Structure 1
């Protein structure tokens, strides 16, 4: 049964609410003051909370900040009188789940709490990842419908051994999703090994993935276990798999098909018992069309697809994410007590977050470090979108236009450079340079 913390200094109302929640199948815990509520939050984990906006000398807003410092994902529903509606709206900006004005319908309150419990339960689950029993929180934070669907898809995929492909823009949390997938799977006590295909030089990739024996090549002065061997029994996560060279894709396909690997310089064959999760921020179907990614490998890794929404498409999660990162960095830098003002939250809610959750985390960390006051104001929220980033946007738009234009030009002229030069009014030498820049071979269109 879901545990609900109810905080109100009106003893009679507190008792009525306690009985109502109990009759509806909840496990209610009652507190008459903010201090009592905080003590309970420190000693127990609740699925949701109901706070009165006025609690003697302390406001519900102050309690919300202190409660989220203890449990950043706790969904809180406020009870407010007409005169404190502005405070309730401010509480929503600070990460409250919802509010009701007095007098309220008890059934509506219970429905709101039930909805909060259902929508936020997955994000609040403590998942065990390590071989020991230390609890590690591995989840995608948020109570939006899109986030809930992602968590449900991860939970469903976790129960099988099917290979999973995670798609999402940069900064959306692809590795976090992969770790969550591993944590809810039967392999959760075995290793989780992550690699980034874009970060490994092509000359070292085979050794990094499959390992090597001592003396296998110049400089191999000791045996090395590859990522696949390290992940034996568990999960291997291949991020930015779209950047893997074609020659390496062929070798990877063979390993995935045969479920076995031979380290460089060894005649031994190691049978693999692993689950493969891969990810990219690129469209692999376009890569296949451009002959930059193998179709057979795509179908091998792309059994189950999980797509992570950009932060701009789940803005209602921003207050919860802010509370989580604020709690993380105030503790790290010894800046406890800092809160985010309503104006600062408005500024973040209206921003498009091209860098997604990673950018939001960076902004909050910077604000915690640089803001001199306990209240983080709008002027302390610094975004990366400056003149340099606009120039970057222009360069990327220009690159995309050139590539599309050149491909259409090659298709129309069937790869004939002379015709393409005349049709586009681009000198042959310049046209060759542009084609080389975008890795486009005219022969592919003949």
Structure 2
């Protein structure tokens, strides 16, 4: 004995895979028309399909009968009932249902539901505008907001971008959201770095790089790969840092500010490898006159992604200290402080100036200017805990290392400064995460 179901499947040349696709399509159409969630999750096994063809089944349970009727236009009982070959031939002659207005109405409803679902996957541009504005505000406030507060806001923005990516299939909107997600990830990486969480900073930076790749945004990819270089030389792997800088320089669309940043980071990486000539050359490149080329990350969004001349000078002072070039480090640190003051960048006094002052103190100690070092480091040691990031903490500890010189050993002023430095580092930001002591390179904040 056979059945009509088997005959129809054979006539339409359906194997299990093809039948399952049609079965799910019909189930989804019923879900859209009725809202019954049992249709949305309807599925079928190959074993059940073969049983239906063999007639070895009773009346199936909901939602199968309705789906089969939608597919073949006949009740499930009639489709699966045993019958002779002659009966099958008779039924096949009338198996195709006559198209009526009801079928047309259902088709129209399916098309309308599908179109509405597609329209629902389009976000209002105002929502994207607001998200981008919120990110701009955060990026440009990192010099007045401590890392832990920046982290919380950046985390929220990343979450919003991820949710909205699930709500739109419009390519232009998705690219905008990928950029927001990448930029928020980059901010989170910087915060993790400041808090001494280097492994998490690596993960977040790689996420930023991947978002930049999906968005096909060269400046974001260059920024993220250069930040990976920073993290590598902080982790004691300057060779990998140099390789990352080479990779970062391969991305298109980076403006003069981004190029200056890449050069400054390259200088530090070379210094850690002991390649003094290459480091000095990169320092010169980082301070060269900037041409008109700009990009929408380092120059347009700016803020945390900017690399101002005072930031370059602050970075280079750390590089020159690694090369034991005291006079050069002193000049570069003083230039950073001077530029910051001349630009009336009062907010940067919480971010870049303390790092430059710490480098200046180390440079002064290299020429035995203990009193000058104490004077320069004084304002740094009074900073609130939330501004004592990993980069600054290591720079301050470098001053303490200079104090261990035989020249200052046993000097009350040196001993007092060393004790103040110890008190400073005990309550530094990395301690918020319980970060252990890590051998880190002198530097910080991506520069």
TM-score normalised by L of structure 1: 0.24
Q: Which has the larger share of helix?
A: 2
Larger Rg: 2
Give the structure with the higher percent strand: 1
